[in-house]
């Protein structure tokens, strides 16, 4: 959530950033914020003045009674009672104004970093680099949704029977390669200095609000009505919320956590060939990186996270590219996002497998996540990134490594899964 004082002191910068993100009615919304902010500050001043007068009058009453001036004491009592009524009115007004201000602030997205390109959608994203050669497949090569049936490693129909579409059942070597990738991704992260955590896979409303999923993405989240809990769309939510309402000692910075969880997304309205097979699921596995950084270090940390994800893709021997997302394609909460996409040889298209993002103070303001730096309490910067999401990684491994004799397993995964070929 943006800080009111920043909006007040940087109105033009705020408007320019919101326009880059194609936020509707930016000027009207910012003006509403500034009007409510002025009303809040004016009301606070009036409340403080009335409370000061009330305290002064209350102090006078005892002295007047002691001096025997009962009439003056009674008059002071009457004035104090009137001041208390006025202070209650001001306090009620202040609470309402603050609630109205908060209600608007939570609808305003984070501002994009200056390096974010202009653009409305994925077609306008900036390609930063490409790495690796796209494989040339043999004549009878198939997309992964045919390969998984051929080798009987994932059963979508059985998943439909048990739960519904988008909940596949992994079997045999399909289940083993899933477990292999999870362990490999976790091991790579721990070697890079991340502490592994295993968080809950459900969160309460406060947690969803703190990381920005609520009120923006409630339609994409599964909700447990009786307990008022949400199934997590990403481990970002519970891991980042470990630090909600926390003041981190400076000597504990930076915080680097990694966690594996299943993830759940409704993906309402998704349909068509581009979401076949593993391309889009309601339940999937993901290893997530979360970092908390001093503000001056967060963009160096973002680059480090990007390089970490790239190193994992290189070890998997998958061709990939890195995109800097344009303003119109960024998430509500992000200030700068890099997407990593792998090449799907049978589908002849790029598949997103990771996003790494810097949220600057946007989440920390909601989280009330701070540290005392150089004697001053400051909001920290939060970052996260997939390292990696499994379904499309597996799709690319199956498609890119298929041969007439079977599917070759990337060498780095063989010690984890115990076999070299799916045949």
| Spatial distance between the Cα atoms of 326 and 336, rounded to a whole number of angstroms | 9
How many other CB atoms sit within 10 Å of the CB of residue 215? 13
User: Distances in Å between the alpha carbon of 103 and those of 1, 36, 42, 259?
Assistant: 11, 11, 19, 32
pLDDT of residue 218: 83
Backbone φ and ψ for 376, nearest 5 degrees, come out as -125, 135
pLDDT of residue 416: 98
Give the domain ranges of the chain.
Answer: 4-105, 122-422
Please name the residues in contact with 48: beta carbons below 8 A apart, sequence gap of 6 or more.
none
pLDDT of 75: 76
Cis peptide before 254 (omega within 30 of 0): yes
Task: State residue 152's pLDDT score.
Answer: 97
Query: Tokens 């769309």 identify what position?
Result: 233
Residue range 4-105 forms a domain whose CATH class is mainly alpha
**CATH class belonging to 122-422:** alpha beta
The rounded distance, in Å, linking the Cα atoms of 210 and 54 is 38
pLDDT at 48: 93
Residue 379: CB atoms within 10 Å: 19
Both structure tokens of 229: 């809990």
What string of pLDDT tens digits covers the 423 residues of the chain? Answer: 999 999 999 999 999 999 999 999 999 999 999 999 999 999 999 999 998 888 787 777 767 676 777 777 667 777 888 888 899 999 999 999 999 999 999 999 999 999 999 999 999 999 999 999 999 999 999 999 999 999 999 999 999 999 999 999 999 999 999 999 999 999 999 999 999 999 999 999 999 999 999 987 888 999 999 999 999 999 999 999 999 999 999 999 999 999 999 999 997 555 555 679 999 999 999 999 999 999 999 999 999 999 999 999 999 999 999 999 999 999 999 999 999 999 999 999 999 999 999 999 999 999 999 999 999 999 999 999 999 999 999 999 999 999 999 999 999 999 999 999 999
* C-alpha span between 14 and 3 (Å, rounded): 11
CA atoms within 13 A on the CB side of 363: 35
CA distances from 34 to 27, 29, 84, 354 (A): 11, 9, 29, 37
Alpha-carbon gap, residue 101 to 165, rounded angstroms: 41
């Amino acid at each position: 959530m943006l800080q009111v004082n920043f909006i007040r002191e940087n109105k033009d910068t705020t408007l320019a950033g919101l326009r880059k993100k194609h936020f509707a009615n930016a000027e009207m919304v910012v003006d509403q914020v500034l009007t409510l902010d002025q009303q809040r500050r004016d009301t606070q001043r009036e409340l403080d003045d009335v409370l000061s007068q009330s305290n002064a009058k209350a102090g006078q009453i005892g002295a007047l009674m002691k001096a025997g001036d009962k009439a003056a004491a009674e008059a002071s009592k009457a004035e104090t009672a009137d001041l208390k009524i006025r202070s209650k009115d001001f306090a009620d007004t202040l609470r309402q104004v603050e609630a109205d201000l908060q209600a608007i602030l939570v609808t305003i997205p984070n501002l994009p970093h200056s390096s974010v390109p202009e653009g409305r959608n994925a077609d306008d994203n900036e390609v930063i680099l490409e790495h690796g050669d796209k494989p040339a497949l043999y004549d009878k090569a198939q997309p992964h949704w045919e390969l998984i049936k051929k080798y009987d490693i994932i059963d979508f129909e059985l998943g439909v029977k048990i739960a519904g579409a988008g909940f596949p059942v992994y079997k045999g070597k399909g289940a083993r390669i899933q477990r292999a990738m999870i362990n490999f991704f976790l091991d790579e992260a721990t070697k890079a200095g991340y502490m592994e955590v295993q968080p809950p896979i459900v969160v309460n409303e406060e947690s969803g609000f703190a990381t920005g999923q609520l009120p923006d993405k409630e339609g994409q989240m599964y909700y447990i009505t009786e307990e008022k809990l949400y199934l997590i769309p990403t481990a970002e939510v519970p891991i980042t919320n470990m630090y909600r309402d926390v003041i981190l000692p400076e000597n504990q910075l930076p915080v680097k956590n990694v966690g594996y969880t299943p993830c759940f997304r409704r993906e309402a309205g998704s349909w068509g060939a581009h979401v076949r097979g593993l391309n889009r699921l309601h339940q999937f596995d993901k290893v997530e990186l979360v970092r908390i950084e001093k503000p001056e270090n967060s963009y160096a940390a973002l680059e480090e996270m990007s390089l970490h994800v790239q190193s994992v893709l290189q070890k998997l021997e998958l061709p990939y590219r890195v995109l800097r997302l344009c303003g119109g394609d960024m998430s509500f909460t992000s200030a700068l996002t890099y997407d990593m996409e792998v090449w799907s040889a049978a589908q002849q298209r790029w598949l997103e497998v990771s996003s790494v993002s810097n949220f600057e103070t946007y989440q920390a303001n909601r989280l009330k996540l701070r540290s005392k730096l150089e004697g001053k309490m400051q909001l920290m910067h939060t970052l996260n990134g997939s390292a990696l999401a499994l379904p499309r990684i597996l799709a690319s491994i199956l498609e890119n490594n298929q041969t007439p004799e079977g599917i070759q397993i990337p060498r780095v995964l063989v010690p984890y899964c115990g076999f070299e070929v799916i045949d």
